Amino acid sequence: VTTETTASGGSSARPQRADARRNAAAILDAATSCLARDPDASISEIAKAAGVGRVTLYGHFDSRATLVAAVVERSMRESDEALRGLDLSGDPADALVRLIEATWRITYRYGALVVAAERSMPDADLVAAHSPHRDRAEQLIERGRAEGRFRSDVPTSWLVTVLHTVVHAAANAVHDGELTAAEAPRLIEATMLGVTTPPGGVVPAAAP
């Protein structure tokens, strides 16, 4: 769909010199909701949804990959703020379940953006964008290990990677229609309670 092409970016009703910051925010908002629905949403669709011309969009983001990276960075910043208030004290396994519930709600809200990010962003950039989330999980897992509740015979960084990987696998499975969004968090929780239980320990039952 490339019906909307404006040679100078000025064919829309908005004044061309309007607040560039507002345009950039509108483009990010539009990209977030377009990519949440369709990981292959085109620049034309996103520009149209933002109410700007393609040339205006390219004035802010020089490629689709740059735009996807900006959307991912903003979404990570916002979700980090949302998760910062989460109570992760008390039993580490219970705290892990709370972290997964909250992380899933946010991941799910971004829908197919997870898929778009994995298709378009280099691995290292994706890992870097997730660093506040990795740090939060790492702290909880370290505490659980210190308290003997989580396994400490494998590196903490590996457990964090498995958590990240399993959440993303669930998001992809929902996108592909293999899981429903409603059943996903219980599966992630059940899986991670098994992953973190020390060898010789008993796997806790996941919430019903």
Write out the residues near a second copy by the rule CB under 8 A: 115, 118, 123-124, 127, 151, 153-155, 157-158, 161-162, 165-166, 168-169, 172-173, 176, 178-179, 186-187, 190-191, 193-206
Q: Is 153 exposed, middle or buried (0-12, 13-18, 19+ CB in 10 A)?
A: exposed
* DSSP string of 119-153, one letter each residue: HHS-HHHHHHHTHHHHHHHHHHHHHHHHTTSS--S
Closest CA to 125 of 70, 162, 80, 84: 70
Chain-centre distance for alpha carbon 125: 13
**CB of 202 vs a second copy, minimal distance in Å:** 6
Q: Which CB, 19 or 135, lies closer to a second copy?
A: 135
**CB of 70 vs a second copy, minimal distance in Å:** 20
Q: Which CB, 30 or 114, lies closer to a second copy?
A: 114
Q: Which CB, 26 or 140, lies closer to a second copy?
A: 140
**CB of 170 vs a second copy, minimal distance in Å:** 8
